[in-house]
A = this chain, B = another copy of it.
Amino acid sequence: MYSRSFESSQNLQESQSVMATILQNLPKECSLTKIEYEGPRIALHTNKPQFLLENNKILSNIVGQIKKRIVLRIDETIRIDESEVQKVAEKHAPQESGITEILFDPALGEATIFVKNISEIIKDEKIINNIILESGWKISFKKIPKNMVTIKNINKIIRNASDYRIQFYKRIGEKIFREKLDPNIEANLNSLGGFAEIGRSSMILSTNESNVLLDCGMNIYTKDPLSRFPRFDSTGIKLSEIDAVLLTHAHFDHTGFLPMLFKYGYDGPVYCTEPTSYLMYILYREYIRHSGSEAHYTDKELEKIFSHLIHLNYNIVTDVSPDIKVTFYNAGHVIGSSSFHLHIGNGDHNFVYTGDIKFGKSSYLENAVWNFPRVETLLIEGTNGGREDSYSSREDAQERLIEVINKVIKNQKLILMPAQLIGTSQELLITLDMLIKQKKIMKCKLYIEKLVTEINSIHEFNVEFLNRELQQSIISNDYNPFRSKNIASILDITTQKLDPGIIIYPSSMLNCSYSKDYLKRISNDPGNLIIFTSKPTGMTLGKEIIDGQRKLSINDEDFEIRCAIETMYSFNSHSDFNQLNAYISRLRPKLRKILVNHGERSKVQNFSGYSSKVHNISTQYLQNQESIKLL
């Protein structure tokens, strides 16, 4: 993001002879050494980058003509050795930036420079330009996050796969930009998982030219393979016939099956935002660690994923096959979460898959995007599709949160807030830290586990995916909630001495291995408080408590809940019933059909009936293993 705009793109119709147009439009001064497909883009390699860096209108004009993404690459022959880059960078960057680390991607000739202070660098475009010209590396700067483990691990994987990736990008580009084989345009949506249920979201969008997989989740709450995995067995499509995988966001119910896809032979591209890829890596590692010998996959499959990964940013139209263009839009659910706008054929059909969306206020993300250029069919999530799933406004909920927390903290007691690891944990952490900063909540500790810190670091690393306000205040060093002094670590909940404060515990239904320890620590003291932020689901400890059970037995050990219990669903990362309907109301003029997925059967059923009537648009929920014609 804080790099020179090396890339241009535009949302228009296709043109014919792409390479010819490029060559005709580029002056000799560009000094091209190679034009090549690089995944969904056309890479222009030059050994004199200065001309195109200084005349960057030239490239955006070509993009306007060919309607394909173009990326500028610097010829390998003029790149300096990795070991010399730091010296060059230090020469051009202000002293106070504090360069701490540089990660290289030799396959693409890119280098990411991590610095302590980034604000001076982004003020002056010349700094990056000079480093690029002197080093021959395509440079970007990032503010260094608290925890670099995941970022370094992934960098190691992609470095090791450099040779493979160069060939892979070429191969994929040739598939995407091939001529269409069939003059007829048809499109079907095949439901594989996550329809009339939550837990293994996956579907295939298939046309006469291509099969694109949208999400690839796994339901870890069941062992039965027919309920655990997406039903690839029921389509006629082989894994090798899938042309692309698109992931809306990192949650395991949208990504958990992806390693198995590679295990069983998939070797095509995976498209997602950068934060999605880093977060899902953390989740995969956690899954492997927890599952031990029962894990369905190992680090080997993770390496495969990351050598096939292509990052997409929001709002850029990208060809993923000869007849499908996708644009990712912010979905407001978790960092990097996306809704997909899929443009099929020559705009013959426009299909939007919301993924999980939050169409409502958040402390750290922008609201879900709804103003798509065109939409005929909308597939919307229905997690909160029941009439009973309307929650109080976030403002009201926040007032109540302040009130109940202060009461507990005043008495020097503890609050436990079970929350989803990715999404609600950050929403709460930032909300609470801001409220403490504003002195609305009494000063107290915000306890988090190491895993949450790791997740938070991806938020720092991808700060450009946060809402504008927070982004600005982190970059400018004004305020960074992820580095707040109020945050303290939980190292061992059973023995650690804890000051009055709030524990954000990353298991929303208390159904993790350590939940019992947390519950034991909190529940015995009538002065303590547990606040649930997600609706009760499954056969979980959380559900039992929310449903009113006070005498519990965990692993044959009986104990009693003596502390207070509250529920506050307004901080949840999903839209509530009203927000879903508000979202549809905005889109309504463009819609012809609404499909509903990602929700218990009763919820999606209710939501379909309600939407058909209230919005007067044909609305239907699918089950898994169904196929519906879009076009």
Contact = CB atoms under 8 A, between A and B. Distances in A.
A629 B625 CA distance: 6
Interface string A240-258: 0000000000000000000
A628 interface: yes
A629 B626 contact: yes
B186 A627 contact: no
Interface string A596-631: 000000000000000000000000100111111100
Nearest to A187: B625
A184 to B, nearest CB: 6
Interface stretch (A115-123, A138-146, A229-237, A275-283): A229-237
A212 B402 CA distance: 63
Interface in A202-254: 226, 234-237
A626 to B, nearest CB: 5
A625 B186 contact: yes
B234 A186 contact: yes
Given A188-B234, A234-B188, A236-B236, A626 B626 contact: yes
A597 to B, nearest CB: 14
B236 A625 contact: no
B620 A188 contact: no
A415 B163 CA distance: 83
A627 B628 CA distance: 6
**Which of A188, A236, A627 has most chain B Cβ within 10 Å?**
A627
Contacts of A237: 236
Contacts of A620: 620
A188 B233 CA distance: 13
Nearest to A241: B236
Contacts of A624: 629
A338 interface: no
Contact of A235 (B184, B236, B623): B236
A379 to B, nearest CB: 15
Number of copies: 2
A625 B628 CA distance: 7
A188 B629 contact: no
A190 interface: yes
A235 B236 CA distance: 6
B626 A628 contact: yes
Interface in A552-609: none
A625 B625 contact: no
Contacts of A226: 184
A629 B235 CA distance: 12
A623 B624 CA distance: 18
Contacts of A234: 186, 188
Contacts of A186: 234, 625
Contacts of A184: 226
B188 A626 contact: yes
A188 B625 contact: yes
A618 to B, nearest CB: 9
A186 to B, nearest CB: 7
Given A226-B184, A235-B236, A620-B620, A190 B627 contact: yes
A620 B624 CA distance: 17
A161 to B, nearest CB: 32
Contacts of A629: 623-626
Nearest to A206: B234
Interface in A140-189: 184, 186, 188
A192 to B, nearest CB: 12
Nearest to A618: B605
A362 to B, nearest CB: 36
Interface in A22-65: none
Contacts of A628: 623, 626
A186 B234 CA distance: 10
Contacts of A627: 190, 625-627
21 contacts: A184-B226, A186-B234, A186-B625, A188-B234, A188-B625, A188-B626, A190-B627, A235-B236, A236-B236, A236-B237, A620-B620, A623-B628, A623-B629, A624-B629, A625-B627, A625-B629, A626-B626, A626-B627, A626-B628, A626-B629, A627-B627
